[in-house]
């Protein structure tokens, strides 16, 4: 699945074009007026009515028992459970375990993916030998590997790390490879004119030009690793956020399930935001160039 996502989001043509353009001077420093702030405030205010109305209706439905609490516990119950789980430390410990797994799996997959992607991107020989096998490997979704892996390595930590690493590995390899391939040959020609040696070429031209698509791959990799983590924890685990969800489900405590689901969403969001912030920092040179 990762194949298409990454290629869709990453046309080779946009891969290495400088994105930044000099901002029109008028917009650079908007005067600090209330009128200028209004659209943002309005956007923020308007985001609330719908979810609040839904929550209110949901709360009403629960307190008048239109829906049994086993099917849908009231939002206030969920909030109380959330606080409870937080106070007992269960929420933090399970989140920590899940984060650890993602970190290890993600790092393993990212290192392997970058290595293979760079090798295939820089050497046509390596690409000819490995790319078809890689594509075949990538065709089976991560979850499809799960039953076989369960039989071969059991259901311990190794299973989770391998599966998360696999789901990170595929998008990072693909985007690194495509990113390096997409470096315009004109850049390389110019560098040759300047008499760059191989190392300078790599360090000063190829890697900076290929960085945005590679970083895109890293972001996809992290998103996928979080997705895979939840999947594998649902199927085989005795701790972690996915386990908390399964546990709540088995006891018919949907408040626990929902509280864990909220954390799953929040962590996934935070992980992506962190990478976006790093990207903004790393790519500052692009703006400085103008």
Please tell me the number of Cα atoms within 13 Å of 59 on its side-chain side.
11
State the DSSP code for 156: S
Structure tokens at 76: 């206030």
Other Cβ atoms closer than 10 A to 73:
22
Other Cβ atoms closer than 10 A to 268:
17
**Selected binder of another protein within 1, 79, 111, 201 (CB under 8 A):** 1
Integer Cα distance of 80 and 85 in angstroms:
9
By CB under 8 A, is residue 5 in contact with another protein? yes
Q: Between 8 and 193, whose beta carbon lies closer to another protein?
A: 8
Site for another protein in 217-236 (CB under 8 A): 226-227, 230-231, 234-235
Q: Between 54 and 83, whose beta carbon lies closer to another protein?
A: 54
Integer Cα distance of 146 and 231 in angstroms:
10
By CB under 8 A, is residue 154 in contact with another protein? no
**Selected binder of another protein within 26, 51, 289, 290 (CB under 8 A):** 51
By CB under 8 A, is residue 68 in contact with another protein? no
By CB under 8 A, is residue 146 in contact with another protein? yes
Site for another protein in 200-219 (CB under 8 A): none
By CB under 8 A, is residue 136 in contact with another protein? yes
Residue whose tokens read 């895979």: 228
Q: Between 40 and 198, whose beta carbon lies closer to another protein?
A: 40
Integer Cα distance of 110 and 24 in angstroms:
38
Judged by CB under 8 A, how many residues of this single chain contact another protein? 58
């Amino acid at each position: 699945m990762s194949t298409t996502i990454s290629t869709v989001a990453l046309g080779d043509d946009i891969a290495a074009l400088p994105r930044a353009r000099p901002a029109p001077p008028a917009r650079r420093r908007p005067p600090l007026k209330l009128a200028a702030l209004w659209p943002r405030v309005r956007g923020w205010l308007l985001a609330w009515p719908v979810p609040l109305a839904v929550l209110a209706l949901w709360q009403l439905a629960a307190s008048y028992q239109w829906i049994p609490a086993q099917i849908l516990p009231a939002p206030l119950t969920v909030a109380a459970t959330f606080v409870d789980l937080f106070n007992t430390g269960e929420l933090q410990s399970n989140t920590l375990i899940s984060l650890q797994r993602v970190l290890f799996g993600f790092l393993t997959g990212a290192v392997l993916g970058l290595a293979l992607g760079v090798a295939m991107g820089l050497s046509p020989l390596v690409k000819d030998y490995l790319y078809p096998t890689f594509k075949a490997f990538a065709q089976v979704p991560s979850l499809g590997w799960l039953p076989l892996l369960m039989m071969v390595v059991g259901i311990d930590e190794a299973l989770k790390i391998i599966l998360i690493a696999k789901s990170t590995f595929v998008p990072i390899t693909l985007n690194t490879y495509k990113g390096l391939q997409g470096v315009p040959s004109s850049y390389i020609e110019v560098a040759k004119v300047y008499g760059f040696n191989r190392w300078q070429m790599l360090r000063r031209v190829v890697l900076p030009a290929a960085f945005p698509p590679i970083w895109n791959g890293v972001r996809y990799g992290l998103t996928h690793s979080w997705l895979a983590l939840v999947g594998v924890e649902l199927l085989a685990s005795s701790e972690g956020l996915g386990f908390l969800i399964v546990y709540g489900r088995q006891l018919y405590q949907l408040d626990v399930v929902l509280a864990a689901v909220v954390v799953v969403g929040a962590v996934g969001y935070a992980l992506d935001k962190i990478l976006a912030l790093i990207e903004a920092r790393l790519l500052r040179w692009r703006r400085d160039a103008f």
